[in-house]
Structure 1
Amino acid sequence: MPPRKKQKTANPTAIPETPADFPNTALLRRALNQHAHALSLRSKEHTKNPDALTELDTWLTDSKTGLSAKISSSQPVDKTDMTSLMKWKLSRGKSRPTLLNLVASNPDALVLKATSAALVVVRDAKDDLERALLALPDACAMKGVGAATASALLTLQPPHLLPFMSDEAASFFAPTFGPIKYTDPFYKKFARAMVAEVGRLNAEASNGVQRWDSMKLERALFTICILRKHGEDGTLEDEGGTSTSPSLKRKRED
């Protein structure tokens, strides 16, 4: 019998192509500017307190007193922090109270060890995505923490290389990756796609324009989804009334 031909296998680290309906640069920037409003809309879906999610998000991102500040200055991330981070994630996405209880059940020492080990890996990786992805097992050593929750923590480590895997952001890659799976392999595909888009956005940006990172891109995609859901995507139109249709092709910024 003739020898079998070797089947070609896809290179998991190959740069993914941009989805055909991915928002263009101008739309993404307008969306990023309306992220706070999107949070308010989402908060009203989950709680009677419309400011609850906004307050958690401020705590998360505050560069002086928030969780981002602790991570940027290499301070320990403890169980109280992880519990609040889970509250933020559940308020921003699907409500799954059992996950909050699981995170709260972790021993203090385990949380400190897992978060420290994971963040060090990402910090040392700098802009090397494949090295940064090696942090997932450490972060997921905690009960109630899977790839999505781990990414909510790891995206806060400068330079914000790893993206948070929200359902909203992942939905833009559904034509390529299929239904969302909360697994390490799916997250890695999502992260590679997001980082590739960040690279393209920054390559297109004019001098002096604020650069993109994975954290900003996720927030812009989240905002687009929420505003569309609430019928407010018309607010994302430019001054010329350009539609927010996802079929818009990306254009270079002026």
Structure 2
Amino acid sequence: MELDFKSSDVGAWKEALSSYDSRIESLNKPDLVSLDQFYRVKLPSLLHDRDPNPYLTTSELSQLMKWKLSRGKWRPRLLDFVSSLDDSAVKSASEKAFKSLPDISQAVKELTVLKGVGPATASAVLAAYAPDIAPFMSDEAMEVALGNSKDYSLKRYLLFVTKLQDKAKELKLKGEWDGASDIERALWSVTLRSKSKSKPEKGSSEKKRKRQESQNSLGKEDK
């Protein structure tokens, strides 16, 4: 199923969102299913149990980072950075960030003082606490909503937030819809499906690549 970002068909958006769990499973990545449950269910509950002064621990940030990297591109250095952060620093920065909401710009700035935490990771932290207003800055959703996913600046994230918040408000007027994070998950799901459909038959590309490497290697040896 294709989904145009401009579409106001609530049914189409709900169908895309409903495929999220199966898309997560289809990636066949170690622990991703359990990490996704932690991120979407357990972590929000833990954070709100700490209201009115919610905060994040280093251990929780590390798990969140594992989820982010498993669902997207794996960058082990980022995981190393956040896992070694001082717990008091993470608690302080996250508490300030959550208190800054709904000022998303300020909330991101409070979190990005931590080593290894850029706007994308900060967005994941904020989305865990306030999914209705702060969507995760995924490459897939950025590509659909903004046309590219290479700019991870705060300015770009704020534009992304506005786009997804506006779309969520539009869908709410037409039917039942929760918020900006559901827009992100719907976009991620349809993008993942499109990518999987465009992939060549399993095994064929790998054989072709190895054959080409073999030919290139023979060519180099001849020179």
TM range (shorter): 0.7 to 0.9
Partner of 1:73: 49
TM-score of the superposition, structure 2-length normalised? 0.80
Change (3 A) 1:179 1:223: closer
Deviation at 1:168, TM superposition (A): 0.8
Q: Do the aligned residues in 2 keep the contact of 1:136 with 1:147 (CA within 8 Å)?
A: yes
| Identical positions, percent | 28
CA deviation map 1:34-66 (0-9, x unaligned): 111111122x2xx4x3xx11100111122xxx1
**Whole-angstrom distance in 1 between the partners of 2:38 and 2:5:** 33
Partner of 2:87: 108
CA deviation map 1:57-88 (0-9, x unaligned): 111122xxx11101222343100000000000
Q: Which stretch shows the higher mean deviation, 33-42 or 72-81?
A: 72-81
What does 1:43-82 align with in structure 2 at a 5 Å threshold?
44=28, 47=29, 49=30, 52-62=31-41, 66-74=42-50, 75-82=54-61
What does 1:1-254 align with in structure 2 at a 5 Å threshold?
22-23=6-7, 24-42=9-27, 44=28, 47=29, 49=30, 52-62=31-41, 66-74=42-50, 75-122=54-101, 125=102, 131-158=103-130, 160-175=132-147, 178-205=148-175, 209=176, 211-231=177-197
**Whole-angstrom distance in 1 between the partners of 2:104 and 2:152:** 18
Partner of 2:209: none
Q: Do the aligned residues in 2 keep the contact of 1:201 with 1:212 (CA within 8 Å)?
A: no
Q: 1 or 2 for the larger relative contact order (CA 8 Å, sep ≥6)?
A: 1
Deviation at 1:22, TM superposition (A): 3.5
Classify the secondary structure of the residue corresponding to 2:34.
helix
Q: Do the aligned residues in 2 keep the contact of 1:169 with 1:218 (CA within 8 Å)?
A: yes
- Give the AA of the match of 1:99: L
TM-score of the superposition, structure 1-length normalised? 0.71
Q: Do the aligned residues in 2 keep the contact of 1:102 with 1:143 (CA within 8 Å)?
A: yes
Partner of 1:3: none
Aligned residues: 192
Deviation at 1:179, TM superposition (A): 4.7
Deviation at 1:107, TM superposition (A): 1.2
Deviation at 1:156, TM superposition (A): 1.8
Q: Do the aligned residues in 2 keep the contact of 1:164 with 1:215 (CA within 8 Å)?
A: yes
Which protein is richer in helix relative to its size?
Answer: 2
CA deviation map 1:154-194 (0-9, x unaligned): 0122362111110111111234xx45311111111111111
Deviation at 1:212, TM superposition (A): 2.5
- Give the AA of the match of 2:135: P
**Whole-angstrom distance in 1 between the partners of 2:35 and 2:5:** 31
- Give the AA of the match of 1:218: E
Structure 1: gaps of 5 or more residues: 1-18, 126-130, 233-254
Change (3 A) 1:105 1:94: same
Classify the secondary structure of the residue corresponding to 2:166.
helix
Structure 1: which 4+ aligned runs deviate by more than 3 Å?
Answer: 19-24
Structure 2: gaps of 5 or more residues: 199-223
Q: Do the aligned residues in 1 keep the contact of 2:55 with 2:98 (CA within 8 Å)?
A: no
